[in-house]
Amino acid sequence: MTSTETADMFSRIILQHLNSGFLSVGIAFGSTTGLFQAMENMGEGKTSQEIADAAGLKERYVREWLGVMVTGKIVEMDDESETFNLPAHRANVLCAKDKFNTGTYTELLPLLCQVYSPITKCFTKNGPRGMPYSSYTGLHELMKKNTRAKYSKLPNFITSVKEVRPLLESGVNVVDIGCGDGFVVCRMAEAFPTSEFHGVDISEEAIISARNEAATLGLTNVTFHTHTAARLPAYWSELFDYVIACDTIHDQAYPDVVLSEIRRILKPNGYFSMMDIMAESKITDNMSNPIAPMLYMTSLMSCMPLSLYFENGAGLGTMWGKDKALGMLKSAGFQCITVAPTEDELPDYHYFNKKV
């Protein structure tokens, strides 16, 4: 508790948060409409009309948006010529194509606000248990963009432990559980042509997208399946040498069942890499995490209600944290060999496990 804080001081802090929330939605507009990209390509000193024309948008809306961006100190303005400039280093942070960019992530906030009213109802005692995936229009599309921003090259969890690369080079069977649009598993299939890869996702939309990705890359060593991870094919018992799951387990309605299915399909001594949010189970242990409120909000507005939607859903939430995760992995019959942050700009914990 901060005893020296006055109501005025606190009020200013809240005003700052309010302002940042609105500004963040403004940044999302710049990302979604391609305005940042247009400004980056045009260079310095352009009028609102020139920027609107380059982005193929209405000038009046672009001018109002520029007001947000200038006063929010994202875009610079020359008063006399009434021209605007997005400095190159800022454009790189907001819309770089070949690396992680935070601009894409701002789009999550307005997307999640689609369910603001329904989630408010979920809070009430007699309200709905949770929300189905179908309530989140555009979620898969955005996850696809975010995954590309996050894993622009071969995911570095592969090289962060000594066991994985030699295993993949030796020609093994691998499956990605909750593979989404298949971006990660396709990168792996490309890099390790002697191994056989599979991707499983409950979403037909994601699997169609994954098959397209594999076809575009001309991959013949990856197969995709629309399936729930809570009941994988019976004939998959002890079929795989290596299983991965990237940001999938905490969303599950029945994570204990999914973990035991993963154990079942692994060969004896097989490995399981679980990438999940870098968070701690105790709220106060997340105080030094600068994006903890964003992660808890993502949980509150999507990951948790998506799981609670199902009867007796676990509702672990995005922030289930390391202790809870380690406890569940152990109960499912895994020996967690190491837990370490991945080297991504928005790191996950990599739980590297062995079937015991």
Ligand X SMILES: C[S@@+](CC[C@H](N)C(=O)[O-])C[C@H]1O[C@@H](n2cnc3c(N)ncnc32)[C@H](O)[C@@H]1O
- For binding to ligand X (CB under 6 A), which residues are involved? 143, 147, 178-180, 184, 200-203, 206, 228-230, 246-248, 251-252
Give least dist CB 166 to ligand X, A. 24
Number of neighbouring beta carbons within 10 Å of residue 263: 19
Count Cβ atoms below 10 Å from residue 269 Cβ, excluding itself: 9
Shortest reach from residue 172's CB to ligand X, in Å: 20
Q: How far apart are the first and last CA of the chain?
A: 45
> Looking at beta carbons only, is 75 or 328 nearer to ligand X?
328
Nearer to ligand X, 184 or 243 (CB): 184
Compare residues 90 and 144 and give the one whose CB is closer to ligand X: 144
Going by C-beta distance under 8 Å and a sequence separation of 6 or more, which residues neighbour residue 244?
157, 174, 175, 176, 177, 184, 185, 272, 273, 274, 275
What is the smallest separation between the CB atom of 34 and ligand X, expressed in angstroms?
23
Distance CA 292, CA 111 (A): 19
Residue count of the chain, please give it.
356
Say if CB 199 and CB 182 are below 8 A apart.
yes
Shortest distance in whole angstroms from residue 110 CB to ligand X:
18
Residue 66 or residue 258: which is nearer to ligand X going by CB?
258
Minimum gap (Å) between residue 139 Cβ and ligand X:
9
Residue type, 187: R
Least spacing, CB of residue 328 vs ligand X, in Å: 15
Q: What is the token pair recorded at 225?
A: 């399946």
Identify which of residues 168 and 274 has a Cβ nearer to ligand X in the complex: 274
C-beta separation of 336 from 351 below 8 A: yes
Please identify, using beta-carbon distances, which residue of 95 and 259 lies nearer to ligand X: 259
| Residue of 236, 240, 152, 245 whose CA lies nearest to 196 | 240
Query: Of 147 and 173, which has the nearer Cβ to ligand X?
Result: 147
Cα angle value 231/311/305 (rounded, 5°): 100
Q: Which is nearer to ligand X, 111 or 206 (CB)?
A: 206
Residue 10, token pair as written in the block = 């606190």
Least Å from the CB of residue 96 to ligand X: 19
Closest contact distance (angstroms) between CB of 127 and ligand X is 23
Q: Give the C-alpha distances (Å, rounded to integers) separating 49 from 29, 87, 88, 104, 265.
A: 17, 19, 20, 25, 58
Number of neighbouring beta carbons within 10 Å of residue 15: 10
Residue type at position 113: C
